[in-house]
Amino acid sequence: MDWKLSVVFLTAFLFSLDCCFCQTYVLDDTKGLGRVFDGIGGLSGGGATSRLLVNYAEPYRSQILDYLFKPNFGASLHILKVEIGGDAQTTDGTEPSHMHYENDENYFRGYEWWLMKEAKKRNPNITLIGLPWAFPGWVGHGKNWPYDFPDITASYVVNWILGAKQYHDLDIQYVGIWNERNYDAKYIKLLRYTLDKSGLERVRIIASDNLWEPIALSLLLDSELSRAVDVIGAHYPGTITVQNALKTQKQLWSSEDYSTFNDEVGGGCWARILNQNYVNGKMTATISWNLVASYYQELPFGRDGLMTAQEPWSGNYVVDSPIWITAHTTQFTQPGWTYLQTVGHLAQGGSYVALTNGKGSLTVVIETMTHDHSVCIRPPLPHFNVTSQNATFQLKGSFASIKELKVWRSQFNFKTKKPSFFEKLTPLTIKDGSFTLNLAEDEVYTLTTVTTGSKGSYPDPPPSARFPKVYKDDFDVRNPPFSEAPNFADQTGVFEYHVNLTDSGPHVFTLRQALTERPVTWAADADQTISVIGDYQWQNLEVTCDVFMENVKSSGVFIAARVDKGGQSIRSAKGVFFWVFADGTYKVTNDLAGQTVLAEGQSGTRAYGWYNLSLTVKGQYAAGMLNGYPLWKQAVVLTPKNGWAAIGTRSFELAQFDNFAVVAE
Ligand SMILES: *[C@@H]1O[C@H](CO)[C@@H](O)[C@H](O)[C@H]1NC(C)=O
Ligand SMILES: *[C@@H]1O[C@H](CO)[C@@H](O)[C@H](O)[C@H]1NC(C)=O
Ligand SMILES: *[C@@H]1O[C@H](CO)[C@@H](O)[C@H](O)[C@H]1NC(C)=O
Ligand SMILES: *[C@@H]1O[C@H](CO)[C@@H](O)[C@H](O)[C@H]1NC(C)=O
Ligand SMILES: *[C@@H]1O[C@H](CO)[C@@H](O)[C@H](O)[C@H]1NC(C)=O
C-alpha cells in the first residue's frame, strides 16, 4: 500500500468514527484551481421583456432595480445582457433600432440604454453585453438575411457599441453574432476587424448564442476564427457541454438559460443550473432570460423572469424566488474569482461548488433540488434522485485555517408551501478544518468567508390591480424620457413619439409608426404593424383615436379591440379591427391579416388629413364612428371574447396617432 492511499484510508476511518451516516467532500486548492468565474446575469430583451418596467412610478421603479442590481441587496447581478434593438418582433415585442434607416442614427430609443445606466449606477463593475436578434430592413438590402453585406452588418453593430460609449458612457464588454440563428465565419472575422479598427480591441466576441456545435468545431478548424472569438455561448445547454467546446479552451457560457415560470419550481430550476452548469458543463457564466418579467403576462412566456414587474399602473411588483437563489452566489463571489477543482455532485443527489478570490476567501454553494421541483422549461430533465443526507466538508490548502463560515439558507418547503429564502443563520464554527451539514431535500446553502451579504427589503409595494378601465394618452410630452408611449407594447413595427413643429393645430405631438420597410426578422412579424395596450380580459369597450396616414398610395390604419395574440404569434392575431384607407374606403375585419371582413364601404378618408375613429364593442356586436358620426354598426363578432386594444397600420408605412382613449366596462 503506498503512503498516499494509507492516508486516505486513515482519514476515511477517522471520519467514519466522527460521522456515521455521511459522505466527505474535500475543498482544496493545493492541486491548482478550476476555471475563472465570469458571473451570473439577466437578459433584458429578446424581446421587449422590460417594456413595462420603465413606466413604473418612483419609488417602485428604483426598488425593482435595486432588487436586480444593487450589490449586497438582492440578485446583485454581475452581468446585464441587452438586445441590440432591430425593429422586429423578438418574442414579446419589438425593440427599436438605433438606425431605422440607412442614414439614421439615434442612440436614445427604447429603454435598454436607460436600463444599462441604472444597472451601472448601482454596480459600476457590472459586465455589459449586447446581442442582435433582428436588423432593420436596409441592413439586409431587401433580403431576410444579415450576412450578404457583412461589412454593413458589422458597422451597424459597431455603431451601437460606439453610441453606447459616446452618448451614455457605457462600455460594452461583449458582443454577440445573431441570436439563435446561423453564424457566418466571414462575418465574425469582419466584426472582429471592424471592432479593432474602431478602437474597440477590448470588446470581446461571443459566438454563437445557439448550440455548442457547429461553432465549437469551427473554432477548432479555423484558427483565424478562433482568434476572433473569446467565448462560446450556448443556450439552454441542460448543464452539459461537448468535447469540442472543452477542446477549444475558450470560456464556456450558458449565455441564455432559465426561461421558466418564476414560481418555486422556477427558483428550483435556477438553483440547480447555477451550480450544475459549472459542475457538469464547466460553464463560468449563466444568464437568465429574462431579467425581469415586465411585459403583459398573456404574451408568450409570461413571468419567465427573475422577478415580476408587470403592473406599472398599480406599482405592484413581486420579488420571486429566483432573486434570492441568485443572491446565494452573486453576493458572495465576483467575476474574476476562481472555481476550485473540487466541486461536484453530492452522494445522495444535489451538487456543490466552491469559489475563491485567490486571497483566502471561500464561498461554497450547495443545492439539493429534487427532480420535480427543479424542472426548467427546456431541455427535458432526465430523472434523478435526491434524498436527505449528511455531508461533511473538509477544508484544505489555503482554507485549512478558516475558523468560521457565514451561513445563508433557502428552504423551498414544497410540502408546507411555506418556503424561506436567503435566511441568515448562525455562523458555523469550523473545528479541525471540517464541518458537517444535515441537508434536506430542496435546499440551497451558501457557506462563506464573505461577510457583506444582506437580504435587502422595502415596504410592500401597492396591491396588484387591473389595467385602468378608463385610459387616455394625448402624447403631448415635450421631452419624453423614452421614445415610446407608456404601456403600448409594439408587436410589429415601432411606434414612437413624434413632434411636428410646423403643425399649428392640435397635432404637434403624436405617436408615429416609424418603419417603412420590413426588418430582417427573427420571428414571424406580421405584414401589418400593431401595438397593443390594456387589459387582456377586456370584452366590452370603446376605443377612440385620431389617425393620420402619410402614404398617399395605399395607406391604411386601424384601431382595434379584443386582440387575442401577440409575440411570435402576432401574424394570426384575431380581434375587431376598424380600418380606414387613403383610397376613401373602410373595412372591419375579424383578424389582423384582414382575411375575414365583417363590414366594408366608403369613408372618404385620404392621406395627410386627421380623422377621429371610434370603435365600440359590446357582446356580439361592434360599431364604428368616423369624426363623431356612425359609419357602420351591428357588425357581428362571435370571437374572440376578450383581448387587448390596439393601433396599427396596413403595412410598414408612416402613420400617426393622437388622443388615444379607452373606456372599458
Ligand atoms: C468593483 O471592483 C473593484 C475592483 O475589483 C472592487 O474593489 C469594488 O469593490 C467593486 N465594486 C462593487 C460595487 O462591487
Ligand atoms: C431513484 O430511486 C428509485 C426508488 O428507489 C429507483 O427505482 C430509481 O431507479 C432511482 N433512479 C435513479 C435515476 O437513480
Ligand atoms: C445524519 O446524522 C445524524 C447524526 O448526526 C443522524 O441522526 C441522521 O440519521 C443522519 N441523517 C442521514 C440522512 O443520514
Ligand atoms: C406637419 O404639419 C403640417 C401642418 O399641419 C402638415 O402639413 C404636415 O403634413 C405635417 N407633417 C407630418 C409628418 O405630420
Ligand atoms: C372623437 O370621437 C369621439 C367619439 O365620437 C369623441 O368623444 C371625441 O371627443 C372625438 N375626439 C376628437 C379629438 O375630436
354 φ, ψ (degrees, to nearest 5): -140, 140
Q: 315 with 63: CB under 8 angstroms?
A: no
386 φ, ψ (degrees, to nearest 5): -130, 130
Q: Which pLDDT score is estimated for 10?
A: 40
Q: Which pLDDT score is estimated for 22?
A: 73
For residue 351, count other CB atoms closer than 10 A to its CB: 23
Residue with the nearest Cα to atom 1 of ligand 1?
125
Q: Which pLDDT score is estimated for 527?
A: 98
Residue with the nearest Cα to atom 11 of ligand 1?
125
Residue 267 and residue 369: Cα distance in Å, rounded?
10
What helix, strand, coil percent values describe the chain, rounded to 5?
20, 35, 45
Q: Which pLDDT score is estimated for 20?
A: 54
Q: Which long-range contacts (CB under 8 A, 24 or more apart) does 14-21 make?
A: 15/392, 18/392, 19/390, 19/392, 19/436, 21/389, 21/390
Which ligand 2 atom lies nearest to the CA of residue 385? 1
Ligand 1 near 452 CB (within 6 A)? no
Residue of 276, 230, 244 whose CA lies nearest to 257: 276
Of the CA atoms within 13 Å of residue 248, those in its CB half-sphere come to 31
Of the CA atoms within 13 Å of residue 119, those in its CB half-sphere come to 31
Could you tell me if residue 169 is left (phi over 0), alpha (psi between -120 and 50 degrees) or otherwise beta? left
Q: 50 with 111: CB under 8 angstroms?
A: yes
Kindly give the distance from the C-alpha atom of residue 382 to the centroid of ligand 2, in angstroms, as a whole number. 12
Which ligand 3 atom lies nearest to the CA of residue 22? 14
Ligand 5 near 614 CB (within 6 A)? yes
Q: Which pLDDT score is estimated for 14?
A: 43
Residue with the nearest Cα to atom 13 of ligand 3?
389
- The residues that bridge with 291 in the sheet, in sequence order, are none
| Residue tagged 432559465 (cell numbers) | 258
Q: Which pLDDT score is estimated for 21?
A: 61
Residue 231 and residue 216: Cα distance in Å, rounded?
10
Ligand 2 near 384 CB (within 6 A)? yes
Kindly give the distance from the C-alpha atom of residue 556 to the centroid of ligand 4, in angstroms, as a whole number. 18
Kindly give the distance from the C-alpha atom of residue 113 to the centroid of ligand 1, in angstroms, as a whole number. 22
Q: Which pLDDT score is estimated for 17?
A: 45
Residue with the nearest Cα to atom 12 of ligand 4?
500
Ligand nearest to the CA of 70: 1
The secondary structure of residue 385, as a DSSP letter, is -
Kindly give the distance from the C-alpha atom of residue 37 to the centroid of ligand 1, in angstroms, as a whole number. 15
Kindly list the distances between the CA atom of residue 493 and the CA atoms of 55, 517, 561, 653, in Å, as whole numbers in the listed order.
Answer: 20, 9, 18, 9
Residue 430's SS3 state is coil
> 257-310 pLDDT, tens per residue?
999 999 999 999 999 999 999 999 999 999 999 999 999 999 999 999 999 999
Kindly list the distances between the CA atom of residue 613 and the CA atoms of 62, 201, 658, in Å, as whole numbers in the listed order.
Answer: 38, 54, 10
Ligand nearest to the CA of 387: 3
Ligand nearest to the CA of 368: 3
Residues designated as active site: 180, 256
Residue 345 and residue 609: Cα distance in Å, rounded?
69
- The residues that bridge with 437 in the sheet, in sequence order, are 391
Residue with the nearest Cα to atom 8 of ligand 2?
385
Burial environment of residue 436 by CB neighbours within 10 A (0 to 12, 13 to 18, 19 or more): middle
Residue with the nearest Cα to atom 2 of ligand 1?
125
Ligand 2 near 383 CB (within 6 A)? yes
Q: Which pLDDT score is estimated for 4?
A: 39
Q: 547 with 627: CB under 8 angstroms?
A: no
Ligand 1 near 333 CB (within 6 A)? no
Residue 231 and residue 212: Cα distance in Å, rounded?
11
| Residue tagged 426548467 (cell numbers) | 376
pLDDT lower than 50: segments of the chain: 1-18
Which ligand 5 atom lies nearest to the CA of residue 629? 5
Domain 37-50+79-330: give its CATH code.
Answer: 3.20.20.80
Ligand 1 near 125 CB (within 6 A)? yes
Ligand nearest to the CA of 337: 1
Kindly give the distance from the C-alpha atom of residue 401 to the centroid of ligand 1, in angstroms, as a whole number. 26
Residue with the nearest Cα to atom 11 of ligand 4?
500
Q: 610 with 546: CB under 8 angstroms?
A: yes
Which ligand 4 atom lies nearest to the CA of residue 608? 9
Ligand nearest to the CA of 624: 5
Which ligand 3 atom lies nearest to the CA of residue 389? 13
Residue of 38, 24, 37 whose CA lies nearest to 355: 37
Residue 538 and residue 515: Cα distance in Å, rounded?
29
Measure CA 663 to chain center: 32
Q: Which pLDDT score is estimated for 201?
A: 98
For residue 316, count other CB atoms closer than 10 A to its CB: 18
Share the mean pLDDT of the chain.
96
Q: Where are the domains of the chain?
A: 37-50+79-330, 470-664
Instruction: Give Rg (Cα) of the chain.
Output: 27
Domain 470-664 has CATH 2.60.120.560: yes
Q: 334 with 357: CB under 8 angstroms?
A: yes
Kindly give the distance from the C-alpha atom of residue 504 to the centroid of ligand 4, in angstroms, as a whole number. 9
Which of 502, 555, 658 to probe ligand 4 with, by most ligand atoms within 8 A of CB? Answer: 502
For residue 512, count other CB atoms closer than 10 A to its CB: 19
Kindly give the distance from the C-alpha atom of residue 652 to the centroid of ligand 4, in angstroms, as a whole number. 19
Which residues touch 72 (CB under 8 Å, ≥6 apart)?
Answer: 331, 452, 453, 454, 456
559 φ, ψ (degrees, to nearest 5): -120, 155
Q: 271 with 376: CB under 8 angstroms?
A: no
Cell numbers representing residue 245 in the block: 467546446
